[in-house]
Homo-oligomer: A and B are copies of this chain.
Amino acid sequence: MIDRLIERIEELQNPTVVGLDPKLPMIPENLKEEAFETYGQTPKAVAAMFYQFNKAIIDQVADIVPAVKPQIAMYESYGPDGVKVFADTVAYAKQKGLIVIGDVKRSDIGSTSAAYATAHLGAVEIGSQTYFPFNEDFATVNPYLGTDSIDPYFETMKRYDRGLFVLVKTSNPGSGELQDQVFEKTGLTLYETVGALVSKWGEDFRGKYGYSDIGAVVGATHPEQGTRLRKQLPHVFFLVPGYGAQGGTAQGLKGCFDKDGRGAIVNSSRGIIAAWQNKYKDRFKPEEFALAARQAALDMKQDLTSVL
């Protein structure tokens, strides 16, 4: 799966992933009205408008970005109807040729992690039928419980050719509180320790470009740490959140890439999907939100490729 992601990045010359994290205030009035008319003031209405919003953006970016990353929290906050639209969004994006990174940050003890693996990357057998519950290509996971909480994903990953991105160094301002503390025994920080585990877990999952299907989340808001991790983890591909709205710059995240310009994909959510009400408020009408997203995605591509 990592090979497919790398190849698609190279075909499009664009190491960008668009975060599909809709919120109600981002939805243009025309979509809102239509959904409220059909479904009333219900979660179904919000789900319907999120889906229309996502579809329009996917249609506009599918030929310029390799991947999208829906953040499931935004959908979960509208209950089961919201979660259904998360699944529908994954399906639509894949139909349009996009690689889908499910930003779900799941984590649990072994047998329960296996259920999450099935949910997000695998399939269940129901009688004689096989059913793919959410069907993402990659899922993000949290390492706090250790190796035996992550290895239940491996079988599912191999069987269905999927990938993981493990939280290593997150983009939030307070990520250092635990992640940057140094362990006595090894002299490594918590995040470096997790990074080393991610590298080890990935040994059986390396593809033809030297990167493994088990990548790491490394926030764009910590340039020096990103640069150091890139050197320490030559086989670990990075998913880099925090560009744009959270303050990460192209110059700052240059160090997350290797000498061939590979090794990372950078996420932007609000900066792209809400461009119609921010950066491009004056250039596009609200109904043209998807065109504004396309333009913002092109800007980001240019910004990133200018430093690589």
B181–A77 CB distance below 8 A: no
B174–A149 CB distance below 8 A: yes
- Distance (Å) between the CB of A210 and the closest chain B CB? 26
A126–B46 CB distance below 8 A: yes
| Stretch from A115-123, A229-237, A257-265 contacting the other chain | A115-123
For A36, what are the chain B residues with a Cβ–Cβ distance below 8 Å?
A: 127
- Distance (Å) between the CB of A103 and the closest chain B CB? 8
A78–B124 CB distance below 8 A: yes
B185–A183 CB distance below 8 A: no
Chain B's closest residue to A117 (CB) is B77
For A38, what are the chain B residues with a Cβ–Cβ distance below 8 Å?
A: none
A14 within 8 A of B: no
| Stretch from A1-9, A140-148, A273-281 contacting the other chain | A140-148
B126–A45 CB distance below 8 A: yes
The proximity string for A residues 173-217 relative to B, scoring 1 for CB distances below 8 Å and 0 otherwise, is: 111111101111111001001100100000000000000000000
For A194, what are the chain B residues with a Cβ–Cβ distance below 8 Å?
A: 178
Which of B43, B87, B144 makes the CB contact (< 8 A) with A133? B43
Interface residues on A, range: 35 or more
A109–B170 CB distance below 8 A: yes
A106 within 8 A of B: yes
For A172, what are the chain B residues with a Cβ–Cβ distance below 8 Å?
A: 109-110, 145-146, 148-149
Chain B's closest residue to A131 (CB) is B43
B146–A174 CB distance below 8 A: yes
A146–B177 CB distance below 8 A: yes
A71 within 8 A of B: yes
A82 within 8 A of B: yes
Roughly how many angstroms separate A46 CA and B124 CA in the complex, as a whole number? 11
Known: A127-B36, A167-B144, A173-B148. Contact between A115 and B76, CB under 8 A? yes
B179–A182 CB distance below 8 A: no
A54 within 8 A of B: no
- Distance (Å) between the CB of A40 and the closest chain B CB? 8
For A84, what are the chain B residues with a Cβ–Cβ distance below 8 Å?
A: 80
- A76-110, CB < 8 A from B: 76-80, 82-84, 86-87, 105-110
Contact sample, A vs B, 9 pairs, CB 8 Å cutoff: A41-B126, A42-B131, A76-B119, A76-B120, A79-B119, A105-B108, A105-B142, A143-B144, A145-B178
